[in-house]
Amino acid sequence: MPAEPLNPLADSSDPQRYGRVAMALHWLLALMIVTSFCVGVSMVALPFSPLRLKLYNWHKWAGITILSLSAVRLLWRLSHRPPPLPARIEAAMPGWQLGAHRALHLAMYVLFFAVPLLGWAYSSALGFPIVWFGVLPLPDLLPVDKDFAETVLKPMHKAGAFTLAAVAVLHVAAALKHRFIDRDGLLDRMWPLPRHGRSS
C-alpha cells in the first residue's frame, strides 16, 4: 500500500513534539514580538521625522498582526491538545519549576493580547486611528481623550511591553537551561528541525 501524502498541517509524527502549525505560530510570534519591541524602544527616542512616523505605523501594524496571530494560536491550542511533558522530564523537575513553567506560559498568553490591545486603545485615545498596512481601517477602541492616553494608557502599554520582554527572557533562559544544563531534550519539542541522536 502506498504511503499517505504528508499533510503539512498535521501534527508531528513524534507524540512528544508540537505539531507543525503550533511550531510555526510560536516562532513567527517570537520573531514579531522581539522585532516590534526593539522598534518600539528605539522609535520613541527619534526626533519628529518621516522615519519616526513610518516606524510608528509599522509598530501599530505589527501590534495588530501579533494580536491576530495570538488569537489564531489560542484557537489552535484550544482545539489541538499540546503534547504532555515526558514523564522522565516531569519527574525530574521540582514542583516550583513545574508551577513556574505553567505560570510563564499563562502570563505570556495574557500579555500577547493585553499589550497590543493597550497600544490600540492608546492610539485611539490620542485620536490616531489605525489603518492596518495602510489598507484596512480599524475601529477606535476608545473616544479621543489625550490626557487619559498619556497618563494611563501609555504607561500601561509600556509596562506591559517590558513585562512581556522580561517573561520572554525567563522563557528563553529556562529553555536554554534544559538544553545545555539538564540536556533533557525539552527544547526539541518546539524546535522546527528534528534533532537526531537527542537524549531519550
Average pLDDT over residues 34-51: 94
Q: What is the 3-state secondary structure (H, E, C) of 26-84?
A: HHHHHHHHHHHHHHHHHHCCCCCCHHHHHHHHHHHHHHHHHHHHHHHHHHHHHHCCCCC
For the domain 20-189, what is the CATH code?
Answer: 1.20.950
Distance CA 85, CA 97 (A): 13
Residue 71's pLDDT band (boundaries 50, 70, 90)? very high
Residue 8's pLDDT band (boundaries 50, 70, 90)? very low
Q: Which residues are CB-contacts of 72 (< 8 A; sequence separation ≥ 6)?
A: 25
Residue 136's pLDDT band (boundaries 50, 70, 90)? very high
Distance CA 195, CA 21 (A): 18
Average pLDDT over residues 131-159: 97
Q: Which residues are CB-contacts of 143 (< 8 A; sequence separation ≥ 6)?
A: 124, 125
> What pLDDT score was predicted for residue 13?
54
C-alpha cell at 62: 505589527
